[in-house]
Chains A and B, each alone.
Chain A
């Protein structure tokens, strides 16, 4: 059974800092890995999707990497802004379904 773990559960940093969120998964037989953002009480917004054959994806200030062999992904956020405050979830697409981690709650302090 696929298990997805995100560390840390919560992170608070000053505005302007670069930061890294971590995601690990137990089964490397995946189709893709996705990073989502969730604002309080809202739905999920897809940020980046990395296919299993890819190593990384970039969108603006966000860069996600995937190391399938070690079961790890990172989400790098450059020059953080208060508007980046949200919960970030990684999810792994296996043969049957999308399995989510529990998320990292990120707070960017002005």
Chain B
């Protein structure tokens, strides 16, 4: 069964350093999402892509976070500089078609970030 791939699975970094996370969605999925999940809370959407275009990045802290999906396939989320409050699980998800509100999102295993 096809799955969403993410790497690394774990990342420990010091504050002010740069970190990057990678996501490879299920083949053929046009929509890709990045979520941040703080321990004990539900995931919150950071950015949504439709193919290579950003559809929603209203909750992305753009002073330090950036996301790209250059060829409309895999995606990278970057944080520079990392802050203590960025410690969280970063989840990538994908869904099949152009957004209709009816399809399921498939989630990857996540990247757990710890900022010291």
- Contacting pair B109 A43 (CB below 8 A): yes
- Contacting pair B91 A97 (CB below 8 A): no
- Contacting pair A31 B102 (CB below 8 A): yes
Report how many A-B pairs have Cβ atoms within 8 Å: 54
Q: Which residues of A contact B43 (CB under 8 A)?
A: 44, 89, 100
B88 to chain A, nearest CB (A): 12
Q: Which residues of A contact B44 (CB under 8 A)?
A: 100
- Contacting pair A43 B45 (CB below 8 A): no
- Contacting pair B106 A46 (CB below 8 A): yes
Q: Which residues of A contact B45 (CB under 8 A)?
A: 97-98
- Contacting pair B101 A31 (CB below 8 A): yes
Q: Which residues of B contact A91 (CB under 8 A)?
A: 42
- Contacting pair A44 B91 (CB below 8 A): yes
Contact with B along A1-34 (1 / 0, CB 8 A): 0001000000000000000000000000001101
Contact with B along A36-48 (1 / 0, CB 8 A): 1000011111100
When chains A and B are docked, how far (Å) is the Cα of A42 from the Cα of B89?
9
Contact with A along B74-111 (1 / 0, CB 8 A): 00000000000000010101000000111011111110
- Contacting pair A103 B42 (CB below 8 A): yes
When chains A and B are docked, how far (Å) is the Cα of A41 from the Cα of B101?
27
Tell me which of B91, B101, B104, B108 has the highest count of chain A C-beta atoms within 10 A of its own C-beta.
B101
Q: Which residues of A contact B101 (CB under 8 A)?
A: 31-32, 93, 95
- Contacting pair B42 A46 (CB below 8 A): no
Q: Which residues of B contact A44 (CB under 8 A)?
A: 43, 91, 93, 107
- Contacting pair B42 A101 (CB below 8 A): yes
Q: Known contacts A31-B100, A43-B109, A44-B93; can you find 12 more A-B pairs with CB under 8 A?
A: A34-B104, A43-B108, A44-B91, A46-B106, A46-B107, A51-B102, A91-B42, A97-B48, A102-B40, A102-B42, A103-B40, A103-B41
